[in-house]
Amino acid sequence: MTGSEEVRCMLMRGGTSKGAYFLAGDLPAGPAARDDLLLRVMGSPDPRQIDGLGGAHPLTSKVAVVSASEDPEADVDYLFLQVAVDRPVVTDRQNCGNILAGVGPFAVERGLVAAGDGETSVRIRMLNTGESAVATFATPGGRVDYTGHAEISGVPGTAAPVVIEFPPGRKPLLPTGNVRDTVAGTTVTCVDNGMPTVLVAASALGVTGYETPKDLEENLALADRLHEIRLAAGGLMGLGDVETATVPKLSLLAPPRAGGAVATRTFIPVRCHTSIGVLGAAGVAAGLRLPGGVGEGIARLPDHGDRLRIEHPTGFLEIDAGVDPGADGNPPAVRRTAVVRTARKIFDGTVFPRAAAVPAQPQGGNDGPAPR
């Protein structure tokens, strides 16, 4: 990258999130310089992000960094970065399955992957977790087509589907080794199906699980309980001190109200998601398949097939989740996870970040006459 402070960037909606997509080579190589630039690009720290691309919410303050992969089993590498809105923080401690939906189309747009005539599949290595995904999307005539008839809750209108398949990960589905744990006096199920997630019955926290995100965010007693649970669960799941981390996510579970398998309210980690993330839904779906988990007695599972409808504040997300419950001493394991998302290119061009802070000048000395 040159020192001109202008960067090639594509703004995309991926699933129910929105973010800035960059080629790795267009950003500084060092994490500190890269993160400083991204804070200025997004307009953080500022609750409104008025001087940058961010939309004043964690779901619209995200970044994808994409490059050609050296792994023979992947086409591109994808690094997800969450840019805090009102704090000068950029973190890579989580992944994002919604922003993932735009990675394949972006890779084709930037020439990292040659498009097929009809549809294209892009093998993606997710650097945050070391796991992989395959995104398949329409490319008639060798060009990405964002128009289509797929609908996803939380996004107005329709767009072309992006089918994302997640091969079974290498991490254990149950990080604690238990289907149920007691954390901060609350029974939970801790799962990791691409994202460390803690499942809690909403009723155990004195709420219904049907409240609006705004109402839940304004419940200070609930916020204190969730914070306590998250810190304790993070240590139990082997994540260490998660005080400043964005994982694990917490999902509150309640009986479904609209024909789905379960109703959810997910915290990311303080704000309540207006829908649910792809990987958060993958964790919920896998957790519901575990006999003895906290979802037992809450969820209504279908009699056949892997597909589950996860209800959330603005609709639902359908996801295929097949789980082997384990036997003969073998732990439970995920067989298959797949989801349909959509993505759309919003703009492609050059972003001009806010100027870097000028170091304070030392006091003292004769710098000329005092201002009048």
| pLDDT tens digits, 11-25 | 999 999 999 999 999
Q: Over the stretch 218-260, which tens digit does the pLDDT of each residue have? A: 999 999 999 999 999 999 999 999 999 989 999 999 999 999 9
CB 275 within 8 A of CB 216: no
Question: Among residues of the chain, what percentage have pLDDT more than 70?
Answer: 95
How does pLDDT run across 312-351, given as a tens digit for each residue?
999 999 999 999 988 778 899 999 999 999 999 999 999 9
Residue owning tokens 């994540």: 239
Least Cα distance to 215 among 153, 271, 154 occurs for: 271
- The HSE-up count of residue 12 (CA atoms within 13 Å, CB side) is 26
pLDDT at 372 over 70: no
Alpha-carbon distances of 3 from 6, 37, 138, rounded to whole Å = 8, 11, 37
Which domains does the chain show, CATH number per domain? 7-168+343-351 (3.10.310.10), 181-330 (3.10.310.10)
Q: Residues 6 or more apart from 367 whose CB is under 8 A from it?
A: none
Q: Cβ contacts of residue 41 below 8 Å, gap of 6+?
A: 7, 9, 20, 52, 53, 351, 353, 354
Residue % of the chain over a pLDDT of 90: 87
- Token pair for residue 112? 């990292």
How many residues comprise the chain?
372
- pTM value? 0.80
Give residue for tokens 């796991």.
131
pLDDT in the model for residue 366: 52
Q: Are strands 7-14 and 62-68 parallel, antiparallel or unpaired?
A: unpaired
Degrees to nearest 5, angle at CA 56 with 340 and 215: 80
What the block records as the tokens of 98 is: 């919604």
